[in-house]
């Protein structure tokens, strides 16, 4: 069973991801402009507290989960298209997050991706 390592929820219109366990702890954000396309099945860039791009968040092929990975030392291409995440660091149930994001209520669990 995959263990919770943090939470994801709405912060204004941004998506805030708080990782409290695992290899990379901290607060990460997906900007509001990228949240709608992400929840609809596309991809987004994960940013750190300073706003620097530090990872990718993409929808799985099944559309069931969002898979997040951190990319050290690589550039990012922000485009409205799906891209693969080879070794996910964390997982978020997409439909569950979308429902809570739309209702402006409590965060959902972020699960360990195994990477």
46 close to 55: Cβ distance less than 8 angstroms: yes
> pLDDT of the chain along its 115 residues, tens only?
589 999 999 999 999 999 999 878 999 999 999 999 999 999 999 999 999 988 889 999 899 999 998 876 554 444 444 555 557 899 999 999 999 999 999 899 999 987 6
This prediction has a pTM of 0.86
Query: Can you give the pLDDT at residue 98?
Result: 95
Query: Can you give the pLDDT at residue 19?
Result: 97
Query: Can you give the pLDDT at residue 106?
Result: 84
């Amino acid at each position: 069973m995959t263990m919770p390592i943090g939470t994801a929820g709405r912060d204004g219109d941004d998506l805030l991801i708080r990782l409290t366990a695992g290899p990379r702890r901290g607060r990460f954000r997906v900007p509001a402009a990228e949240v709608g396309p992400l929840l609809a099945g596309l991809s987004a860039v994960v940013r750190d507290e300073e706003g620097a791009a530090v990872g990718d968040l993409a929808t799985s092929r099944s559309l069931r989960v969002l898979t997040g990975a951190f990319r050290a030392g690589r550039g990012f291409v922000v485009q409205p298209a799906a891209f693969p995440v080879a070794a996910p660091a964390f997982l978020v149930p997409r439909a569950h997050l979308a429902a809570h994001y739309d209702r402006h209520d409590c965060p959902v669990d972020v699960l360990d991706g195994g990477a």
